[in-house]
Amino acid sequence: MSEDVTRGWQRPSIYDVARQAGVSHMTVSRVLNGHPNIRETTRDRVLAAIDEMNYTRSSIARALATRRAMRIGVLVDGPVQYGPNSTLRALESAARDVGYAISAFSISEDEESQIDTGVVELVTQGVDALCVIAPRASSLDILRRQTTGLPTIVIKAEPDAAWHTVAVDQRAGATLAVSHLIELGHERILHVAGPLDWYDARERQEGWRDALTAAGLPVVAPVAGDWTSDYGYRFASTYDFDHVTAVFAANDQMALGLVHGLCQRGFSVPGDVSVVGFDDLPDARHFLPPLTTVRQDFAALGELALKHVIDAIDGEEDGLQHDVIEPRLIVRASTGAPRP
């Protein structure tokens, strides 16, 4: 196709159809993908707009019409961890629903310097925007030195002076977990934190501290873990729990290791020590005992992140935005009243 023909291409985009039908672009996408939970009147209005505008779902046509690659570049920090991995899958699903593709570049915990390589690789693919999932402070320090000219969204639980940010409210989730333990009567609540280079780990630790302080309870010195079940097991195998009746672990994997280590030493969970996790792994309900934990809605997070990405691409973000999703406490059998 010649450059002149490309320049004159006027085929409507999904956003044009949405405006014509008076609905969101997500609704148009759901109609196109046959989602069942769409009112018939809405479906008919969208289909009529599609017919009127002679809209096709061709990705090439959309890219030509909008001057976009219809592709979002995603940097994933710590991709082997459950949270980052689940967020990426949710973002991919939300993007696919509206005709965008995802190009992902993963950065392992021992390859912080790879963030430069990742940015270059994604930018050279002609992506329309960047999204950064589960960043560590050290990784963002490197990213701050980059100048891409692209809209950038960072999935981070606190606002940032440089980028749009979205997240599940990590501090609120930790506060829910610790408040639950306090309501059960616990007064000595230990926190096994994640690595404090991770923003999520910092926010969860601050939520634990906030809840204890608000209740006038002592703050036991937190312990810095590494997200793994092995760490939780090793810690529980040697720690003196005589002055602690409950543990809030920064993720479910460490909670699993804690329960294993405690039980192997003859402690009852929750009879002697209550344990709360964070994330609500799919298997958390099958731990022995089933784990009380904080659930993050990754599907909603993916949709929210995508909305902000597309709004930023469209130039519809007014200043730097920060948006959060509230987590939920899931109470199971790993928590109970403290021992006498």
Question: 78: phi > 0 → left, psi -120 to 50 → alpha, else beta; which?
Answer: left
Task: Give the separation between CA 5 and CA 55, rounded to whole angstroms.
Answer: 18
Pick the CATH number of 68-167+298-323 from 1.10.357.10, 3.90.1710.10, 3.40.50.2300, 2.30.110.10: 3.40.50.2300
258 CB-near residues (< 8 Å, 6+ apart) = 192, 232, 233, 235, 236, 247, 249, 275
Kindly state the tokens that stand for 44: 């008919």
Cα–chain-centroid distance for residue 192? 21
The fold adopted by the segment(s) 170-296 is: Rossmann fold (3.40.50)
Q: Which helix (H) or strand (E) holds 210?
A: helix 199-214
Kindly state the tokens that stand for 121: 């690789």
Q: Which of 298, 292, 315, 49 is nearest to 189 (CA)?
A: 292
Measuring CA to CA, how many Å separate 160 from each of 78, 131, 242, 247, 319?
20, 14, 41, 31, 12
322 forms bridges with which residues in the sheet? 165
**CATH 1.10.260.40 domain extents, the chain:** 3-65
- State whether residue 248 is helix, strand or coil: strand
pLDDT along the chain (340 residues), means of 10: 37 76 81 74 87 60 55 88 92 88 84 77 88 87 83 91 94 98 98 95 97 97 96 97 96 98 97 98 96 96 92 82 95 95
Task: Give the separation between CA 76 and CA 130, rounded to whole angstroms.
Answer: 11
Whether the full predicted model's pTM is greater than 0.85, yes or no, is no
Q: Is the Cβ–Cβ distance between 13 and 62 less than 8 Å?
A: yes
Tell me what pLDDT residue 67 has: 57
Q: Is the Cβ–Cβ distance between 285 and 292 less than 8 Å?
A: no
The fold adopted by the segment(s) 3-65 is: 434 Repressor (Amino-terminal Domain) (1.10.260)
- State whether residue 250 is helix, strand or coil: coil
**CATH 3.40.50.2300 domain extents, the chain:** 68-167+298-323, 170-296
